[in-house]
Amino acid sequence: MRPETLRRLMLDRALDQLSPDAVELLDAYVRERPAERAELEQLVSIGQTAARALKTVGDSAAVELAPFPRRRIASAGRIPLVRVRTAVAMAACLLIGVLVGTRSMPQAEAPSGERIAFASANGGSRSIWRVDIDELNPPRDSRAGETRTIRWTSPLEIPQTKGAL
Amino acid sequence: MAVTVEQLEGLYRQHGPELLHYLRGRPGLSRDAEDLLHETFVQAALFRERLDESASPRAWLFAVARHVASAFHRRWWHRAAEPLDAEHVAAPVERRDDGLDAMREAIERLPPIYREPLELRLRHELSYVEIADVLSLPLSTIRSRLHHAMERLRETMQATHNGVAGRDHDET
């Protein structure tokens, strides 16, 4: 038998987890081997002492149990009233919020071509953060098909626009 | 068919004392062990279909108790309220036996991953399979951890024994 296998069997035996047949085989095996037998006896002794040490920390037989929590079990399946109230209140708040929000929302105006043209006619200012509106959004009617690119080589420079027809 | 409340009450009478001991033995649960035992059976009642399916109702109840205890530990106010090892070193019945005292100390010093399966095996006499169910770990892991625990206990006890023997030798 391989030493590791024997070792595992000995530990299982010390933990009282070997079947009676396996115990018998193991005992027969170590009977002729004094070193292994001594090791097995030591492990079994440690297992027994550990079991005694653990079992004597209090005694479960002496415990008096409180009555079975029948009422608590009966009420466990129900959803508490407080939770129901909270859920209803939250749902109501959400509904009111949605209603108020949808009614008071200003109607968004779509940008018209006129406005863009107006901005362009008044000379849209050009700065590092702003590019003429008509350069970015050319009116479709007059410049359909035109493409313009913005070239910005460095954040310290003003972006350059290039018209590409 | 799901377990009835009457059957659950029978399990409470049968395994309640043992489960109560298990809960009391866990660090920081001394004062709340009875409440947690009740909670264990409330949870068992809520999930009684699983109890019916389990191979070992005892192991299943241990697993539920362990989950309930872990959930309890996660609540910060309880962690702050009680030192963790207050009850774990509960006043034992046999305090005069030096060998047992040394063994208790050796077990206390084991890391929890080794101590827990060892306690389930030697104190509560759960099989390897049942321990694997309780701890939700593979059987091979449980076996390996138990073997490590035993090896460590053997080393500690040998060191203690050698220390005592050395002291005795020095005194003579």
Same domain, B84 and B98: no
Domain that holds residue B143: 94-172
Interface of B with A (CB under 8 A): 5, 8-9, 12-13, 16-18, 20-21, 24-25, 34, 37-38, 41-42, 45-46, 90, 92-94, 99-100, 103-104, 107, 118-119, 121-123, 127-128, 143, 146-147, 150-151, 153-154, 157
- Express each pLDDT in A38-87 by its tens digit: 999 999 999 999 999 988 766 555 677 888 888 888 887 666 677 788 88
Q: Identify the closest residue of chain B to A12 by CA–CA distance.
A: B147
Interface of A with B (CB under 8 A): 8, 11-12, 14-15, 17, 42-43, 46-47, 49-61, 63, 65-66, 68-70, 72-73, 76-77
Q: How many structural domains does chain B have?
A: 2
A95 vs B78, residue with greater confidence: A95
Same domain, B82 and B162: no
CB contact under 8 A, A76 and B38: no
CATH code (residue B67): 1.10.1740
Same domain, B124 and B160: yes
Reported confidence tier of residue B86, pLDDT bands at 50, 70, 90:
very low
Angle of CA points B164, B169, B172, to nearest 5°: 125
Same domain, B62 and B120: no
If you count residue pairs, one on A and one on B, with CB atoms under 8 Å apart, how many are there? 108
Q: What is the mean pLDDT of chain A?
A: 77
Maximum alpha-carbon separation in chain B: 71
Last-in-domain residue among B90, B105, B139 = B90
Same domain, B109 and B143: yes
Interface-testing mutation among A63, A64, A78, with chain B (most B C-beta atoms within 10 A): A63
The answer to whether residue A110 scores a pLDDT higher than 70 is: no
All structural domains of chain A with their residue ranges: 3-55, 124-164
**Mean pLDDT lowest among A52-61, A97-106, B83-92, B124-133:** B83-92
Same domain, B146 and B106: yes
φ, ψ (nearest 5 deg) of residue B90:
-60, 150
- Express each pLDDT in B94-125 by its tens digit: 455 678 888 999 999 999 999 999 999 999 99
By C-alpha distance, which of B91, B33, B8 is closest to A64? Answer: B33
Same domain, B35 and B62: yes
User: Is B71 within 8 Å of A27 (Cβ atoms)?
Assistant: no
pTM to 2 decimal places: 0.65
Last-in-domain residue among B37, B69, B90 = B90
**What is the arithmetic mean of pLDDT over A137-150?**
61
φ, ψ (nearest 5 deg) of residue A163:
-85, 130
The answer to ipTM > 0.90 is no
Last-in-domain residue among B90, B118, B153 = B90
Same domain, B23 and B79: yes
As a whole-number percent, the residues of chain B with pLDDT over 70 amount to 81
Same domain, B81 and B105: no
